[in-house]
Amino acid sequence: MNTTIPNLIDEVSDLLNIGVSEVFRTMLTLEAKPAAVLHDWHASGETLVAGSVGFIGDVNGVVYVHVTAGFARKLASRMLGLAEAELEGDEMVNDVIGELSNMIVGNVKSRLCDSGAPCVLTIPSIVRGQNFKIEPVHSCERRLLAFRCDADHIMVELLMKHST
Amino acid sequence: MALKILSVDDSRTIRLIVTRAFKAYDCIICEAANGEEGLAAAAREKPDLVILDVTMPVMDGVTMLGKLKDDPDLKAIPVIMLTAESSQENVLQISRLGVRDYLAKPFKEEQLLAKAGRVVPLVKKAA
């Protein structure tokens, strides 16, 4: 994949747009529609859950899928077919958000590999807390994508750098 | 006799979805959270089918598949890979190792049942 990073990050952003919609439609029967990025979404005071998965190889980056803790519980309940009261603490919710993030980034990774940019995925991890934001290091480019599922929001943050 | 299906995935979410998918069928679902546990469970349980993830800690699915196929006692167990990594190269690699089929995540339970039903005889539980 011979392309400059501004083009590449735009291509990966496009793949993420497709991936988010596809994963939410298939696994949750929910329409995640592209939306305007919310200002100060990370400083709302609400507890946020972010699933993070990286891709490493000819292209390197990391994707964070942020949702509110309340929406994360709704997603977990829907995906597992359990009532919210049946979800055991945060562990099952974290696992669902990690798996959704893994599927979204896995989709992107497969398309990158097929277009000549081999890379591997990292194991998903979860960040949970209030008023936090991801700050890219100097050598990274950042894109922020937003989606809506009815009244709930999904913020997807992409950080990318070139391989040396 | 109920079919024994081994679900190997580090995500509890996926293992729960796999269990739910086969709930209406005469199946016993065994679970393992990585390739190492999966190999031990395969040797212990002698499942009729393994549904195997690719990216897992401790031992990934491709390594587990290779070891399974190298073991004379286990190599005949059919394996369906359930993976978020469905690039052509990945699919070719697992095909060479003798996987029976693969299903890309995201997936619908009906797709998993259709794939499994082509490998083992799924029988609905009596009402």
**Per the domain annotation, does B126 fall within a domain?**
no
Over residues A101-116, mean pLDDT: 92
Please list the alpha-helical segments (H only) found in A87-157: 91-114
CB-based contact A121 B83, cutoff 8 Å: no
- Asked if the C-beta of A52 comes within 8 angstroms of chain B's C-beta atoms, the answer is no
- Which CATH number do you get for residue B67? 3.40.50.2300
Amino acid residing at B93: Q
Question: Chain A residue with minimal CA distance to B106?
Answer: A23
Residue in chain A lying closest to B90 (CA): A110
Number of domains in chain A: 1
**For residue A67, what pLDDT is reported?**
96
For the segment A121-133, what is each residue's pLDDT rounded down to a tens digit?
898 999 999 888 7
SS (H, E, C) chain B: CCEEEEEECCCHHHHHHHHHHCCCECEEEEEECCHHHHHHHHHHHCCCEEEECCCCCCCCHHHHHHHHHHCCCCCCCCEEEEECCCCHHHHHHHHHCCCCEEEECCCCHHHHHHHHHHHCCCCECCC
* Parent domain of A30: 5-162
Ranges of residues in chain B with a pLDDT under 70 are none
Q: Is residue B127 included in any domain, yes or no?
A: no
Chain A contact for B62, CB < 8 A?
Answer: no
The 10s digit of each residue's pLDDT in A36-84 is: 988 777 777 889 999 999 999 999 999 999 999 999 999 999 999 999 9
Res A140 pLDDT > 80: yes
Does residue A3 carry a pLDDT above 60? no
Looking at residue A81, the DSSP 8-state letter turns out to be: T
Q: Is residue B8 part of a domain?
A: yes
Measure the CA–CA gap between A76 and B22, rounded to whole angstroms.
20
A107/B84 CB distance under 8 A: yes
Residue B51 lies in a domain: yes
Please report the pLDDT score of residue A1 as a whole number: 54
Would residue B89 count as lying in a domain?
A: yes
Which residues in chain B have Cβ-Cβ distances shorter than 8 Å to A93? Answer: none
Can you give the pLDDT at residue A6?
58
Q: Does B28 touch chain A if contact means CB atoms closer than 8 Å?
A: no
Residue A64: strand pairing partners: A52, A157
Q: Are A123 and A56 in contact (CB under 8 A)?
A: no
Q: What's at B107, amino acid-wise?
A: F
Binary contact (B84, A105; C-beta < 8 A): yes
Q: What is the pLDDT of residue A137?
A: 78
Q: How many CB pairs below 8 Å do chains A and B form together?
A: 71
| Angle of CA points B49, B71, B17, to nearest 5° | 25
Residue B57, in any domain of the structure: yes
- What pLDDT, on the 0 to 100 scale, is given for residue A162? 60
Contacts of A109 in chain B (CB under 8 A): 84-85, 87
Q: Do B106 and A27 touch (CB under 8 A)?
A: yes
Share of chain A above pLDDT 90, in %: 68
Q: Is residue B68 part of a domain?
A: yes
pLDDT at A163: 53
Task: Tell me the chain B residues in contact with residue A98 when contact means C-beta distances shorter than 8 Å.
Answer: 11, 13
- B104 to chain A, minimum CA–CA distance in Å? 9
The whole-model pTM stands at 0.90
Q: Which of A99, A110, A112 sits opposite B13 (nearest CB)?
A: A99
Residue contact A99–B20, C-beta within 8 A: no
- Range of the structural domain that residue B25 is part of: 3-119
Q: Report d(CA A68, CA A7) in Å as an integer.
A: 31
User: What's the domain count of chain B?
Assistant: 1
Q: Which of residues 82-111 of B touch A (CB under 8 A)?
A: 83-90, 104-108
Instruction: Give the pLDDT score at A5.
Output: 57
